[in-house]
C-alpha cells in the first residue's frame, strides 16, 4: 500500500517561555492550516518550567494539531519518540475520520462505530502509520539554560532516528536551532534520511539570551514551504482505499 501523501511535523524542543517577536501559538495555528502538525516537548529542570511556559507549550501543540509532553531531560529519548509516533497516529486518525464521514455520513467517526467494527479502521491507521512518508523538522532551543540538556537532546534525536528507520515508510529529518547567529533560527542540517555530526551542531550554543520561539517557528514553516509541502492534506488518502 503506497501513498503519495506525506506526514509533516515540526518538533519543538524548548525549556522556556518565548520572550521575543510573534506569538508562537499564532504561527502554530497557521502551520496546522497547511497540514503541518506542531508538537512540543517541554524540558523540565530540577525546578519546574514556569506556569506561563507550561501553558505556552500546551497552547502551541493544541493550535498546531499536535501533541505536547513535559519531561525531565533524562527521560527525553523515549518521550521524543513517543510524541512523534502519537502525533503521526493522531494526524492519520483525523484524516481517516474525515474519510469515514464521507462514507458513513456526517456524524460518523470511529468512536461511533461499535467496538466490533473498529478493528478494520485501526488496521488502516496502523498500516498508514507504518508506510506513509514522514518529514520531521526539529527545532531546538539553544538558549543558555539548555546547555546541560544538550547531551540528552542529541541522544533523543539519535534514538528517534533509530525508531523511525525501523518503519517501512520513508523518513526525512531537518535540524534547526534558535536563536540563530543572525536570524531568529538557523539551519543546521538540510533534509536528510539520518542525523550526522549531531553533537557538533548541538555543542555550539547561541550567544543571545532571548527565546524567539514565534519567529523561529515562522522560519521553520517558511523552510517547509520551500519543498513540496503545500499539497493539500486531504490528498493523503488518495491511493488508499478504506
Partner 1 sequence: MRSEARTIRGQWHGRTYTVEKELGRGATGIVYLVRRGNNRYALKLGEDSISITAEANVLQQLGKAQGIILGPSVHDVDDWLDPNTREKKPFYVMNVIQGTPLTSFIQHRGKEWIAVFVVQLLHFLQHLHDKGWVFGDLKPDNLHVVDTPPKVAWFDPGGMTKMNRMIKEYTELYDRGYWQMGDRKAEPAYDLFSLAMIVLALYHGEFKVKQTLNGAERERLLQQKVINHIPQKPYQQVVWKGLSGRYRSAADMKKEWFWAWHLVKGGPDQHRRHQSANMPGRTVHSAQAQSAPAGHHQQFDHQQFDHQQFKDQHRMSKPRQRKKRFRLGKAISFFFISSFLLFLFALLLFTQTM
- Any contact of residue 174 with partner 1 (CB under 8 A)? no
Shortest spacing between CB 101 and partner 1, in angstroms: 16
User: Which residue lies nearer to partner 1 by CB, 163 or 231?
Assistant: 163
Q: How many CB atoms lie within 10 A of CB 229?
A: 17
Give the burial class of 177: count Cβ atoms within 10 A of its Cβ; 0-12 exposed, 13-18 middle, 19 or more buried. buried
Closer residue to partner 1 in complex, CB, 74/147: 74
Q: Which residues contact 186 (CB under 8 A, 6 or more apart)?
A: 176, 177, 178, 180
Q: Is residue 165 a contact point for partner 1 (CB under 8 A)?
A: yes
Taking CB under 8 A as the criterion, the residue among 44, 151, 205, 229 binding partner 1 is: 151
152 binds partner 1 (CB under 8 A): yes
Q: Does 203 bind partner 1 (CB under 8 A)?
A: no
Residue 171 CB, nearest approach to partner 1 (Å): 11
CA distance 20 to 10: 20
Q: Determine if 46 is a binding residue for partner 1 (CB under 8 A).
A: no
Residue 93 interacts with partner 1 (CB under 8 A): yes or no: yes
User: For residues 122 and 181, which CB has a smaller minimum distance to partner 1 in the complex?
Assistant: 122
Q: Is-contact 23 214, C-beta < 8 A?
A: yes
Q: Is 114 in the site for partner 1 (CB under 8 A)?
A: yes
Site for partner 1 in 63-92 (CB under 8 A): 74, 77-78, 82, 85, 89
172-61-132 Cα angle (round to 5): 30
Place of cell 519531561: 71
Are 1 and 212 in contact by the 8 Å Cβ rule? The answer is: no
Amino acid at each position: 500500500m503506497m501513498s503519495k501523501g506525506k506526514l509533516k511535523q515540526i518538533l519543538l524542543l524548548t525549556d522556556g517561555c518565548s520572550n521575543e517577536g510573534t506569538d508562537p501559538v499564532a504561527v502554530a495555528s497557521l502551520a496546522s492550516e497547511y497540514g503541518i502538525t506542531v508538537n512540543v516537548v517541554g524540558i523540565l529542570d530540577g525546578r519546574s518550567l514556569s506556569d506561563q511556559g507550561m501553558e505556552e507549550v500546551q497552547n502551541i501543540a493544541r493550535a498546531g494539531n499536535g501533541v505536547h509532553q513535559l519531561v525531565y531531560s533524562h527521560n527525553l529519548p523515549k518521550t521524543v519518540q513517543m510524541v512523534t509516533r502519537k502525533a503521526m497516529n493522531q494526524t492519520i486518525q483525523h484524516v481517516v475520520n474525515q474519510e469515514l464521514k464521507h462514507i458513513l455520513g456526517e456524524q460518523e467517526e470511529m468512536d461511533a462505530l461499535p467496538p466490533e467494527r473498529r478493528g478494520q479502521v485501526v488496521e488502516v491507521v496502523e498500516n498508514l502509520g507504518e508506510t506513509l512518508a514522514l518529514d520531521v523538522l526539529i527545532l531546538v532551543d539553544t538558549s543558555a539554560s539548555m546547555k546541560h540538556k544538550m547531551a540528552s537532546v542529541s541522544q533523543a534525536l539519535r534514538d528517534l532516528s533509530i525508531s523511525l528507520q525501523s518503519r517501512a515508510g520513508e523518513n526525512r529529518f531537518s535540524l534547526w536551532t534558535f536563536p540563530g547567529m543572525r536570524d531568529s533560527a538557523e539551519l543546521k542540517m538540510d533534509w536528510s534520511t539520518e542525523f550526522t555530526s549531531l553533537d557538533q551542531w548541538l555543542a555550539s550554543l547561541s550567544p543571545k539570551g532571548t527565546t524567539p520561539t514565534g519567529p523561529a517557528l515562522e522560519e521553520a514553516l517558511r523552510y517547509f514551504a520551500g519543498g513540496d509541502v503545500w499539497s493539500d492534506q486531504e490528498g493523503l488518502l488518495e491511493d488508499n482505499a478504506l
